[in-house]
Structure 1
Amino acid sequence: MLAAAAAVPAVVAQPAVAGPATGARSVPCDATADVCVDLSRHRAWLLENGRVVEGPVRITSGARGSETPTGTFTVQRKDRDHVSQEAGNAPMPWSVFFDDDGRALHGGSLSRQSAGCVHLDDEDARTFFAALHPGDEVQIVD
């Protein structure tokens, strides 16, 4: 579960509305998720006990041929200053890894697609990094 972190600003949690997303507070993931990523709307949310604590925030995801997978994943590890060997030493600041293929939520350009990761702007990436811990649930929907 999400733990309180000094780097995460205090916000009042808002109820998440699961199911088809229609409004700004609508979250298309289960209440069990700690982070929800909506690839088609290019948005992500931090959740705690089914309530929105941050978001929606803008994201970009995998380009054609390097799509970001959908499904339910678990945060495996975090790396504040990760550099991708597979992507020509590309910086991946504030990385929160969620699958066995090295995909992560991390700071990155919102003006281009990724190689399969979920890009957040740097401020949002820091917030997600501080709030998420190994074992937390990541849901990615299309």
Structure 2
Amino acid sequence: MRRPIRTTGAVAAAAVTALLCTAAPAAAVPPADTECTAPAGPYQRQLEKHLGRPVDGRQSPEDCRAIRSFQTANDRPHADGFADLATYRTVLVVEATPDPNAAGRCPVESSRMTCVDMDRQLLWVQTGKRVVFGPVPIRTGRDAQETRPGRHAVYWRDRDHVSTIYDNAPMPYSQFFDGGQALHGHPGDLYDGGGSAGCVNLTVDDAAKLWDLLALEDPVYVWGVKPGTAD
């Protein structure tokens, strides 16, 4: 028997509001012509390629300012010119936005389909070929706790779910699709740690929007391999 959907929207809204109210304000962005002193980051070459800079993996003042301008334009909280993981994931979102399913990996059907691309760590929702949500960055399962690929369906939704396995961790806007794995919001830094315990993590804001869009029985299609995990 399918579990009932819990509708405690007021509690969820209060929790999200509290999170927003306690979040640290974004750092002030320096003018574009000020000195930029960040060292080369782990995703230096990827940022250089995206920004049309010489791809040598070495940070120059011009590289630093170009990366900082990209971070500022895309509302990154730390616009400092450092090519970190979060900035690289933003590049993947920007590059995928015109047509996230250009490679045709996600099934194109007349009904709504949630697409989870573990290779690029992206999620979007499409109806036919029309993208109706995303792409947005995600975090899938770490090594030995990988998110299971294949075609699934949303079978249970819990707006205010709390994990009974992982230290009562909050899982807002949970939409379960396969054996305890869910699409859900991750309060805090989406890029901390090596991955989730199998769920598909989104920012809380993106998870809330996805909650409003999906329904029980909606298909979820997962493919690819999270970078850093075994094939």
Pick the aligned partner of 1:91 from 163, 170, 177. Answer: 170
> Where in structure 1 do 4 or more consecutive aligned residues deviate above 4 Å?
none
* Post-superposition CA distance 1:26-61 (Å, at most 9, x none): 323001352000001010001123310111100001
Q: Return the alpha-carbon distance in structure 1 between the equivalents of residues 139 and 157 of structure 2.
A: 19
Q: Return the alpha-carbon distance in structure 1 between the equivalents of residues 172 and 142 of structure 2.
A: 19
The residue that corresponds to 1:56 in the other structure is: 135
Structure 2 length-normalised TM: 0.50
The residue that corresponds to 2:8 in the other structure is: none
Please, what is the CA RMSD of the aligned residues?
A: 1.5
The residue that corresponds to 1:79 in the other structure is: 158
Alignment map for 1:42-53 (pairs within 5 Å): 42-53=121-132
Structure 1 length-normalised TM: 0.79
Q: Return the alpha-carbon distance in structure 2 between the equivalents of residues 31 and 59 of structure 1.
A: 21
Alignment map for 1:7-86 (pairs within 5 Å): 23-24=96-97, 25-27=99-101, 28-32=105-109, 34-86=113-165
The aligned amino acid for 1:135 is E
Higher helix share: 2
The residue that corresponds to 1:102 in the other structure is: 180
Pick the aligned partner of 1:125 from 199, 207, 217. Answer: 207
Q: Structure 2: any 5+ residue segments left out of the alignment?
A: 1-94, 225-231
Q: Pick 1 or 2: higher relative contact order, CA cutoff 8 A, min separation 6.
A: 1
**Over alpha carbons, which structure has the higher Rg?**
2
Q: Return the alpha-carbon distance in structure 1 between the equivalents of residues 211 and 143 of structure 2.
A: 26
Classify 1:69/1:98 alpha carbon distance in 2 versus 1 (closer, same or farther; 3 Å): same
Q: Structure 1: any 5+ residue segments left out of the alignment?
A: 1-21
Higher strand share: 1
